[in-house]
Every structure is written in structure tokens, then in C-alpha cells.
Structure 1
């Protein structure tokens, strides 16, 4: 894999990674983003292995090698959350390689996944969320199709709490405008139905009537949201839109689409929504993930109490 310190591509390894990528996509239903991250982790590990034991190939993978690689990552300042993902990447790969006969034993069986510290996400106050939606609406009043689209992006993300990849993956037929429902394809190709409110409906109506028709092209297909060239909107563009919108709200944290998702979940719980309903809306596979937002609400409650109560 390396020659004279220069990394070179091993055709056998590359074919192996291509097959693993297909496995992740077709059998595990992993998104393109997740697959890219997993393959990046594997290439990092295999480069590390080649530097320690040249010419051993996959057969050189062992528990000490895996632990040394993770230790080197930690020493370089890699976060616990990233270390946890990289460990999961390797465990998924070695289990697959064993089944394929590429390994005689699974060296990652006893590899422990580091527990990521769950930090409370930054969220908007409800008044800041209203200001953000107003800022997006005012920008769309000039009739610019991109501004009309940008209003829909922030309105729909906040109204539904869906992921930005889920939003950008929507087709026109996934929207039931009569009942104000979205048919969302989430992680693991799991489908769910998510409602949205009147402000998001107004933004959607404006986009379908006065925004999308001005951007549509031969490459648009059925995509709901379009980029400037008429193709399906890339999630990175949507993230930029959210950050720019938040910059117009004085005192608001610099959040992206995931911050709007956090905010939507927190505001739902503050409004009295049942935890399991929020779990279904967000598409969480376990209730434990949704319970993070109860901690957010309690933390916000305590912060207000400490600031406002005379005997706090």
C-alpha cells in the first residue's frame, strides 16, 4: 500500500472496499454520507496498518493493531463521538470480511466502542425561532425564487424536525398538501409520515407556484427542492441557507439544520407533546435518543430559574 513513504492504491483492497460500500448501501441501507465516513475510516486504518506491517494486507489486522490505531486517533485529538463511529465502522467491516472469507477470524470482536459524551445541543428560544422564520419570510417577499425556496427550507425544517438529508430527498409526490403531511424516507430506509403547520404550508404553496417553476430544468425530475441550476438541492446548500438565516437573528446561536431539528423537538416537549410522539416524528429508532431533549428542556428551565428567582 505504500512505497518509499508514498501511498499507492492496492487494487485488491479497493475492490474489497467497493464491495463493502455496496453491502452498506444495499443490505444495511446506509446513507451516502455514512458510507463515505465508513470508507474514510477504513482507509485510515489500512494506511496505519501498512505503515506498521507492510505487505500483510487484511491478514495483518489484529486487536492490538486496532487498539493502537484508535489510541493514535485519540492522541491526535479525535473526539469521543468520532472514535465511537470509527470503532463501529471497523466492527461492521471485520464482521463482513469474516463472512466473506477475507479474514480467518474477527479481530474486532473484543473491541469496545467508546461511549460518546452526550452534550446538550444548542437550541433557539421560541421567540428566536419566530424571528428566524420572519427573517426568511421577509427575504422571500421580493419574489426571488431562491429566497422563496430558502424560506421553505427553514420553515419546513423547524415545522417538522426532519433531517436536512430527508428534506432534500423529498419528491413532489411525497407531499400531501391537502392534509399537510410529508412522507419521509429516513435512516435505514424507514418511512414515516410527518405533519407540518400552516406557516410551512404557506411557504410550500409559494414555492410550488412562484419559486420552483422558475428554476425547473430537464434535470429536476420530481425533486421538491431545487438548486440554482435546477437540479435536486444539495444538503450542503441547505445548511448554508440555515446559517445565513440565523445570522439575521440577534443573539441567536449559530445553528444549522440539525439545530433547527433540536429546537423543534425541544419546543414540542415544552408545549406538552408526548415523548413517544416526538420519537416518531423525528424518526429515532430508540426512545433513549429522544430523551436527550428532556434534558435540554430541564437545563433551560434551570437556567431561567437561576436567572429570575430571587432565592435561586
Structure 2
């Protein structure tokens, strides 16, 4: 049965197929083996041990992690990410064709499009323009969009991390957010006063109205149908605000990169910034250390605490 075929067995069969039946070049085969080894390692950490258990979200998250990098590896180039995507698509296509899995979760997946160069940090003034460009009315989506962008810049979270937040991950009394990053690493990040206020307004006046239309469960950010806001939906919020603010070149990574650049420009220690970005392991604690909170308050342009 497909459910009994482990990921390791499927990868071994696929690589054997490439070598024996397709005659893949040795260097390409070596690269595929490396890419698939990293892929299986991530899936193992998620509790996916059979090829039939893998979902499209797993594939997308892995490719996004390759492009963004992590605490133990730099981001991959667009070319290397495209190669990894080809290896993963080939693996799942092979598994589906050979009856090792009931479906191909990578059928519609392509390598994430990303700029060749590091994302450009926008200035503090440009961040203010971006935030001011969010719809200012009290409609649910306007309050949600303001809360989302304020939180992204206040915490330096990835868009994928922000849409993965649940209501219980935000502590508005203390002013912090618990973020689950790649590899299951959890970190606590401070939230400045403007972000806390925007999230509080959203929770009080917008989220209950959005939740009536669907079953978003514990999700913090909901879409217009009441479900969890998707990464694509969050990116559309950012893009719309950037267009209204007449800011070019704003990507999903822009606010995260600007968060880091502005902290460093204000004299924050690079180790603190890495910690807040999730590049130095998780905090794994229930309270933010005072030194982290104090350093954030001194360096973040919108700390307000």
C-alpha cells in the first residue's frame, strides 16, 4: 500500500531510476541526492514518514525556506532553488506514477520567484508611508490589513510566519508575539505600541465580524470568508499598500529586511537582531528577557514602549 512506502524508500527508488533508466549525469544526480536529503530531513521533523503523507503545503514551505535561508544555512540562489524544485517534482511524479502514493502534491508547484539580489530595505519614512497607505476606515479588512503590516514591521516575521499565527500567540498586555519559524524553532519577539494598538483594534472590531462568515478557528488573521489568511493573501495586502504609497520594489521580505536594517542602524547588537529574526535559535521561554525588551525599545523606530 502507498501509505507503507517510506520517504527514504521512495527517494532511493527515484534516484535509482534516474541513474539506471534516465542516465542522469553524475553531478546532477549528486545535487538531486543532496536536495532530496534535506527535503526528507524537513519532512521527518514534521512527522511525515510516508511518501503518501506529504502535502502541497509541505513542498511550498520547503522551497520557501530554501530561498529565505535559516540559522544554519544561507539562502539558496534562484537557480539552486529551481533545481531543488525539479528534484522534488520529479520525486512525487515518480511516486504517483509507480503507485507509491495516491496523488502528486507537487504537480502545481514551481520554484518560488525571488529577486536575484538581497531585498532592498526601505527607509523609516517609507515604512511610515506604507503603513499610512493602508485603508484607514473601520471596515474589517482595513483594520486587519493595518494590524498585519504593523505586526510584520514590529516583529520582523516572515509573511508565512505571520499568517500562521493564532490569536493565543499574541500577548497584548506584555507586548510580545510567539513566532514558530522554520524547523519548529519558536521565538518571542516584542511588539511596539503602534502594533499592539492595531492588533487590539482588529481583534475587537474586525476579527469577530470576519469570523462570522467562516471557520478560521484560532487563526489570528482571517480572510474575507472567515478562513485563515493565506500567504498569497497577505502578499496582496502588502502589494496593494505599496502601490498606494507609490513604493516600487516592495516584496514579501521587504519589511523583515527593513526591520533588521533599522535596528542595526540604531545601534542594536547583531546578535539581538539575529535572535529576533529567528537566526539564533528559539527563546523557548514564556517571558521576554528584560535586556531584549530594553534593546528593542531603544532601537526600533516604532517601539513606543
TM-score normalised by the chain length of structure 1: 0.59
Within 5 Å, which residues of 2 pair with 1:1-312?
23=40, 26-29=43-46, 35-36=59-60, 81-86=77-82, 119-136=117-134, 139-140=135-136, 142-217=137-212, 219-250=215-246, 252-285=247-280
Larger RCO (CA within 8 A; separation ≥ 6): 2
CA contact (8 A) 1:38 1:86 kept: no
How far off its partner does 1:165 sit? 0.8
How far off its partner does 1:213 sit? 0.8
Q: Whole-Å Cα distance in 2 between the matches of residues 269 and 37 of structure 1?
A: 28
Q: Whole-Å Cα distance in 1 between the matches of residues 270 and 118 of structure 2?
A: 17
Q: Whole-Å Cα distance in 2 between the matches of residues 215 and 257 of structure 1?
A: 24
- Counting matched residue pairs gives 210
CA-atom RMSD in angstroms: 3.6
- The structure whose residues are more often helix, as a share, is 1
How far off its partner does 1:36 sit? 3.9
Evaluate the alpha carbon distance shift between residue 167 and residue 32 of structure 1 in structure 2; reply closer, same or farther with a 3 A threshold: farther
Q: Whole-Å Cα distance in 2 between the matches of residues 285 and 255 of structure 1?
A: 26
How far off its partner does 1:223 sit? 0.7
The superposition leaves residues 199-248 of structure 1 with CA deviations (integer Å, 9 ceiling, x where unpaired) of 10110011011010101145111111100110111010000000110112
How far off its partner does 1:132 sit? 1.2
CA contact (8 A) 1:166 1:185 kept: yes
Q: Whole-Å Cα distance in 2 between the matches of residues 33 and 150 of structure 1?
A: 23
Q: Which runs of 5+ in 2 are unaligned?
A: 12-35, 49-54, 64-75, 92-114, 282-305
Q: Whole-Å Cα distance in 1 between the matches of residues 269 and 172 of structure 2?
A: 25
CA contact (8 A) 1:24 1:35 kept: no
How far off its partner does 1:188 sit? 0.4
Q: Whole-Å Cα distance in 2 between the matches of residues 161 and 167 of structure 1?
A: 9
SS at match of 2:45: coil
Evaluate the alpha carbon distance shift between residue 86 and residue 248 of structure 1 in structure 2; reply closer, same or farther with a 3 A threshold: closer
Q: Whole-Å Cα distance in 2 between the matches of residues 153 and 212 of structure 1?
A: 12
CA contact (8 A) 1:161 1:262 kept: yes
